Amino acid sequence: MNIIYDDQGNFWKTEYPDGSWVRYFYDQNGNILFEGYSDGKWKAWKYDGENNCIEFFDSSGYFHKDNRISKNLIIRTTSDGQTIEFDDFETFSKKIKPDGSWEYREFEFGDQTYYENSNGVTHGTKRIV
């Protein structure tokens, strides 16, 4: 495998022994904008003025859009109709299905991390700090 960097130290191209490759393009702030593959597939990102990723698209048709509600909450909508909530550390906290039920929620209390679904099933695991 051969990795080539641009003048800013970002990955520019990765070449594999089988002849395949991946190319990377960045904006002036070092945010990745586009990742193209030798097989024609691609991924693209879009950022707001504060360098937060607000949109992601790929060649399969999948996309997500992020809406930063506040400093502490990001709401992501996806092309498959799901909504995902993230906290201020961009840690996954809740995945909401199109029917309104939520598949999973994670929260911390004391030294435990709890996982819960919309049916009220909760279980905790001790956090290792």
Cβ proximity of 64 and 55 under 8 Å: yes
Measured CA to CA, the distance from residue 53 to residue 64 in angstroms comes to 10
pLDDT computed for residue 8 by the predictor: 87
pLDDT computed for residue 119 by the predictor: 63
Q: Are strands 2-5 and 11-15 parallel, antiparallel or unpaired?
A: antiparallel
Residues 95-115 have a mean pLDDT of: 63
pLDDT band at 65 (very low <50, low <70, confident <90, very high): confident
pLDDT computed for residue 40 by the predictor: 95
Give bridge partners of residue 23 from the DSSP assignment.
Answer: 13, 36
pLDDT digits (tens, 9 = 90+) for 18-60: 999 999 999 999 889 999 999 999 999 888 888 877 788 889 8
Measured CA to CA, the distance from residue 60 to residue 43 in angstroms comes to 9
pLDDT digits (tens, 9 = 90+) for 88-102: 555 556 666 677 666
pLDDT band at 129 (very low <50, low <70, confident <90, very high): very low
Query: Which of the 8 DSSP states describes residue 70?
Result: E
pLDDT computed for residue 37 by the predictor: 96
